[in-house]
Structure 1
Amino acid sequence: MTDQTPSQRILASRRKFLAAAGLAAPAALAAPAIVRAQAPIRWRLQTYSGAPLGAHVIKPQIDAFNAAANGEMEIELYYADQLVPTGELFRALQNGTLDAVQSDEATMASPVDIAVFGGYFPFATRYPLDVPALFRYYGLQEIWEEAYSEVENVTWLSTGAWDPLHIFTVNKPIRSLADMNGLRVFGVPTAGRFLSRYGLIPVTVPWDDVEVAMRTGELDGVAWCGFTEAYEVGWADVCNYALTNSVTGAWFGSYFVNTESWNRVPPHLQQLYRTTIDQSHYYRAVWYWGGEAKLRVEGEKMELTAIPPEEWNQVVHDAESFWDEVSASSPRAAKVVEAFKQYAATMEAAGYPYR
């Protein structure tokens, strides 16, 4: 048996974490079978992610829920674009084609004035814990609930943290802002909108087509994820360069349900679903956090590059005007930006280990 490469050892150890977290063997959660006169509630849930990534960001939760629901309810899981295109997730959820969705607002074209904050909002966060802290202590939960209360037949349930945003490129290393000019990258909408001021060209293709598009030259890279995903889904096998400058520290990902479908679920199963969402948030935060560091340091597949601090400071400064631009788009958006500013000021004042 040949020795594993550093990245293979890291990925193997992280897959063992799936079992250690109690999510890999959902059958162990099941209670004895009970004969039921009523057919189980059946849901269809589609995630933004493709199957390799979905194996971590959503499947463990759905497996655990289905086992613990003990035959009363079953959720069928679909990955990116399997039932509907990702850009149509919101509409499909609203009209009942889907019962539930896992995505960010920007990617799924959510028709709310806070959609721009879903996914990667430039420099809003540094660490995964920033996301739940913002929702619990800085008013984002109430803002999200208010926004979705105005949307017919869609209920927002929860937002959690994913990975930081880095740029990975196939053949063109980024060592200065000028190197971004003309690069065609697959990426999330808000970050792409911001980075386009440096000449980056956001390109939308189906998730499963990204690797092929990079191999054929249709794409120069991705601005979609961190090191964990790049290695896990195989993009690190195609990309030769990884930019270590991070545009933001954690992706905002949310869980949504069709309101009519949700109201037909009894309270104990609603609570079970919420509990498995929280379990998923925990698992995902640890899985990403550990992987980002180890794969950046020990992963052998990509050369690390960096934009010099004096240039990157300009990007950070430019984000201030971007924040002001978004803040002016609606009073509710202004509340979110103000929460970001208050949070950043508090973390800076608190110092280590917060900043």
Structure 2
Amino acid sequence: MTDRRDFLKKAGLAGAAAVGASAISAPYVHAQSKIRWRLQTYAGPALAEHVIKPSIDAFNKAANGEMEIELYYADQLVPTGELFRAMQRGTIDAVQSDDDSIAAPVDVSVFGGYFPFASRYSLDVPTLFNHYGLKEIWEEAYGEVEGVTWLSAGAWDPCNFVTVEPIRSLEDLEGKRVFTFPTAGKFLQRFGVVPVTLPWEDIEVAIQTGELDGIAWSGITEDYTVGWADVTNYYLTNNISGAWAGSYFANTERWEELPEHLKTLFRLCMDSSHYYRQHWYWWGEAHYRTTGGKLELTSIPESEWQTVEEEALKFWDEIAAQSERNARVVQILKEYRATMQKAGPPYRYG
């Protein structure tokens, strides 16, 4: 109070009034501290440069000082498998990942990541969510979980094997120790694959030391981008899924604290991220197959690979039996598959 009186004496009443008027007219945002979020992605630094960083940089610029999102990479703050719980507790504010990898405690989490043969192309994922009802099912499922809000799903790349030794038949999969996603790994065990779980940043070394025989975590774009093409020799063109399905999530309290214009801005940036990946992966999958130069392409004959797809449909029915909601998802996938086959090229060939 002594300082305040001294200031008023020196500045005079007119000056004090001017200061008061200035404070009253100042924009609301300047009276508030900047909103800060910590968002962790499933991706390591090289991959994150494409799958999320451009959209977060754009958000921070467009937020104009009102909010800043600090981006963290795979396992940087929290192990990927603990991301959901960390977000629920408020240790981190938001996550970009698939439901499967972060152990989301909802029945539909099995459809995140690479659910076997759920998609043939990357456009299948946004079509299923926005036009076939998966969006509403995901909102329903996560609405039953305290503390986490599901925000948006999009597509990534297909799931192909990249290996040290060539794979040219189903027999060649037998005994292969492979880094992959939880549900994809459970399915691949039917063909003798041994799923291995390791921190993302350890994969390259694990291939070099022989701890892993291969990776079924991505398409060829990521193999080249993150360095896996430097330590493997062969790329199998057959895939078990045409696109990874990943999502954005946020701590519910932090999400609800945001003013509507920042929520809208974040939604626009999620859409920007989804769109960037659509064309980046579509470019990369063809580019690296034809001009990459590091990996030899191999294929399992389509007649033999058909048995894998038929087994996937049995797997679908097993997952459908786990809950009424899962059954709804599987029914949508079956209807979608039938529609695409009936539509023919370019939706489905053969």
TM-score by length of 2: 0.90
Mapped pair 1:350 → 2:343: yes
Q: Which residue of 1 aligns with 2:329?
A: 336
Q: Secondary structure at the match of 2:138?
A: helix
The answer as to whether partners of 2:160 and 2:238 remain within 8 angstroms in 1 is yes
State the alpha-carbon separation in 1 of the partners of residues 172 and 345 from structure 2. 34
Which of the residues 143, 146, 153 maps onto 2:147? 153
Aligned with 1:247: secondary structure?
strand
- Where do residues 179-198 of structure 1 align in structure 2 (5 Å cutoff)? 179-198=172-191
Q: SS at the partner of 1:122? A: coil
Q: Are 1:69 and 2:66 matched, yes or no?
A: no
- Amino acid paired to 2:42: Y
Which of 99, 107, 116 in structure 2 is aligned with 1:105? 99
Which of 166, 169, 178 is equivalent to 1:173? 166
Superposed displacement of residue 335, structure 1:
0.5
How far residue 115 of structure 1 moved from its aligned partner, in angstroms, is 0.5
Corresponding residue number in structure 1 for 2:5: none
d(CA) in 2 for partners of 1:35, 1:87: 37
Map 1:57-96 to 2 at 5 A: 57-96=51-90
Distance, in Å, in 2 between the alignment partners of 1:302 and 1:177 is 20
Q: How much does 1:287 deviate? A: 0.2
Instruction: Tell me which residue corresponds to 1:29.
Output: none
Question: Aligned ranges for residues 1-355 of structure 1 at < 5 Å?
Answer: 36-170=30-164, 172-355=165-348
What is the distance in 2 between the residues matched to 1:180 and 1:35?
A: 58
Residues 29 and 66 of structure 2 are in contact (CA less than 8 Å); yes or no, is this contact kept in structure 1? no
Q: How far apart, CA to CA, are the structure 1 residues paired with 2:258 and 2:130?
A: 26
C-alpha distance in 2 between matches for 1:40 and 1:210: 38
Q: Which residue of 2 aligns with 1:27?
A: none
- Runs of 4+ aligned structure 1 residues displaced above 2 Å come to none
Q: CA deviation at 1:34?
A: 11
AA aligned to 1:345 is A
Q: Distance in 2 between matches of 1:136 and 1:76?
A: 29
Count of residues in Structure 1 that have an aligned counterpart in Structure 2: 322
Aligned partner of residue 261 in structure 2, secondary structure: helix
User: Distance in 2 between the 1:258 and 1:35 partners?
Assistant: 22
How far does residue 262 in structure 1 lie from its aligned partner after superposition?
0.4
- Residues 174 and 193 in structure 2, CA contact (< 8 A), matched pair in contact too: yes
Question: Contact 2:163 / 2:214 at 8 angstroms: preserved in 1?
Answer: yes
Once the two structures are superposed, residues 45-81 of structure 1 have per-residue CA deviations (whole angstroms, 9 ceiling, x without a partner) of 0001111100100111110000000000000100000
Render the CA deviation track for 1:95-115: whole Å, top value 9, x for unaligned: 000100000010000000000
One-letter code aligned to 2:101: T
What per-residue deviation string (whole Å, max 9, x for no partner) do you get for residues 233-283 of structure 1?
A: 010011101111011100000000000000111100000000000011001
The residue identity in structure 1 corresponding to 2:120 is R
Distance between the aligned counterparts of 2:60 and 2:35, measured in 1?
11
Alignment match, 1:8: none
How many angstroms apart in 1 are the aligned matches of 2:28 and 2:294?
Answer: 50
Q: 3-state DSSP class of the match of 2:258? A: coil
Which residue identity lines up with residue 236 of structure 1 in the other structure?
A: A
Please give the per-residue CA displacement for 1:142-192, whole angstroms capped at 9, x wherever unaligned: 10000000000100000000000000002x211111111111111111111
- After TM superposition, give the deviation of residue 37 of structure 1 in Å: 2.3
Query: C-alpha separation between the residues in 2 aligned to 1:180 and 1:350?
Result: 33
Structure number with larger C-alpha Rg: 2
Give distance in 1, aligned partners of 2:35 and 2:28. 15
SS of residue paired to 2:304: helix
SS, match of residue 239 in structure 2: coil
Q: In structure 2, what is the Cα distance between the partners aligned to 1:327 and 1:42?
A: 40
Percent of aligned pairs sharing the same letter: 66
| Contact preservation (8 Å) 2:173, 2:193 | yes
Give the unaligned 5+ runs of structure 2.
1-26
What is the CA-CA distance between 1:35 and the residue it aligns to? 8.0
TM-aligned CA deviation for residue 134 of structure 1: 0.4
User: What is the one-letter code of the residue matched to 2:307?
Assistant: Q
